[in-house]
Amino acid sequence: MNSIRLRGPATSANVGPGYDIFAMALKEPYDEMLLELTNDNAITINFEGDSQNIPITIEDNTAGLAILELKKRYKPDLGVKVTITKHMTSGCGLGTTGTSASSAIYGLNKMLQLNLSDNELVDLARMGEIASGGSPHADNVAAAMLGGFILIKDYHPIDVLKLQMPEFPVVLAVIKKTQRTTRGFITYEIGPDKLKDQMARCSRVIHAIHTRDAEEFGKAISVDHIAEPVRSAVIANYNETKAKVLAAGAFGSTVSGGGSSVITICPAHLQDEIAAIMESGLKGNPNFVKIIKTTTSNTGVCEM
């Protein structure tokens, strides 16, 4: 096998209270990647269609950096040509950069028959995230690699658990963030009361998945004392829009990953109404891209 064409899903990380430890895959949107093995011992990155100004220098590209790590650990003479087709808007907190890293590692593992474990795959892919957010967090890449709902059980060494995720209806307001990353503004100094609430909500998220309870899941993700206060502060009309979607019957709403997209979980019959409320509340933002109606998904990167 000398080439492979892959489809990699959008992911939503943190999922409310689970900063850097929770993420889930979404059915739409997705990106595509073509990997072709070469004999020149070099990694090259190209885009088919709009590159969205994503760097193609290996060290500055999430797929490039992850492949470099795989080359260093397992295959020093690796040569590969990467062609990315972006259907997703990058820089919106939908894990698209992590998806590129995961797709590259998934495809190379197959083509080179490396037989790496899920944790080894995630550990390689997360190195790519250094090119995007400056830190090798594993939440987005794990959800893209494996699909479903991801709990990062341990970072030292990396140990991820995939939970089968019920297909919960989702509405996304896709909004581009204005900064590369806001991770530097996040504090863990939240005090004992908020810390207890945060831990309780993380437990509720996992319980809601086990009991397949969308309403409980939505309530649990709707409060986060760590990432949401920082990321929502730059989303005009965030609190008002969140209050409106909850009043209209949505189960829960929060900032997706590093922002500035907003993700809402709702009953299927309310998806159109919730989409309309989110659009009218958030479209005034100059970085607003579009509304997407989708669902959570158990499918990660896969061959096309």
Handedness of CA 259, 261, 262, 263 (dihedral sign): negative
Handedness of CA 289, 294, 295, 299 (dihedral sign): negative
Choose among 147, 131, 148, 153: nearest CA to 18.
153
What's the alpha-carbon Rg for the chain, to the nearest Å?
19
Least spacing, CB of residue 226 vs ligand HSE, in Å:
9
**Binds ligand HSE by CB under 6 A, chosen from 120, 139, 224, 228:** 139
- Decide: is 140 part of the binding site for ligand HSE (CB under 6 A): yes
**Binds ligand HSE by CB under 6 A, chosen from 9, 10, 12, 20:** 20
Q: Which C-beta is closer to ligand HSE: that of 24 or that of 80?
A: 24
3 state SS of 235: coil
Stretch that binds ligand HSE, among 14-22, 36-44, 69-77, 113-121 (CB under 6 A): 14-22
Q: What tokens appear for 149 in the block?
A: 């709902």
Least spacing, CB of residue 18 vs ligand HSE, in Å:
8
CA distance 117 to 109: 10
Q: Which C-beta is closer to ligand HSE: that of 140 or that of 254?
A: 140
- Decide: is 137 part of the binding site for ligand HSE (CB under 6 A): yes
E strand map for 156-210: 158-163, 169-175
Q: Which C-beta is closer to ligand HSE: that of 14 or that of 297?
A: 14
CA distance 116 to 75: 13
DSSP label at residue 116: -
CA distance 152 to 167: 21
**Binds ligand HSE by CB under 6 A, chosen from 75, 110, 183, 293:** 183
Q: Which C-beta is closer to ligand HSE: that of 26 or that of 227?
A: 227
Least spacing, CB of residue 231 vs ligand HSE, in Å:
8
Are 172 and 294 in contact by the 8 Å Cβ rule? The answer is yes
Site for ligand HSE in 227-286 (CB under 6 A): 227, 257-258
CA distance 285 to 254: 17
Stretch that binds ligand HSE, among 13-21, 51-59, 104-112, 286-294 (CB under 6 A): 13-21
Q: Which C-beta is closer to ligand HSE: that of 226 or that of 274?
A: 226
- Decide: is 8 part of the binding site for ligand HSE (CB under 6 A): no
**What are the residues binding ligand HSE (CB under 6 A)?**
13-14, 19-20, 133, 137, 139-140, 183, 227, 257-258
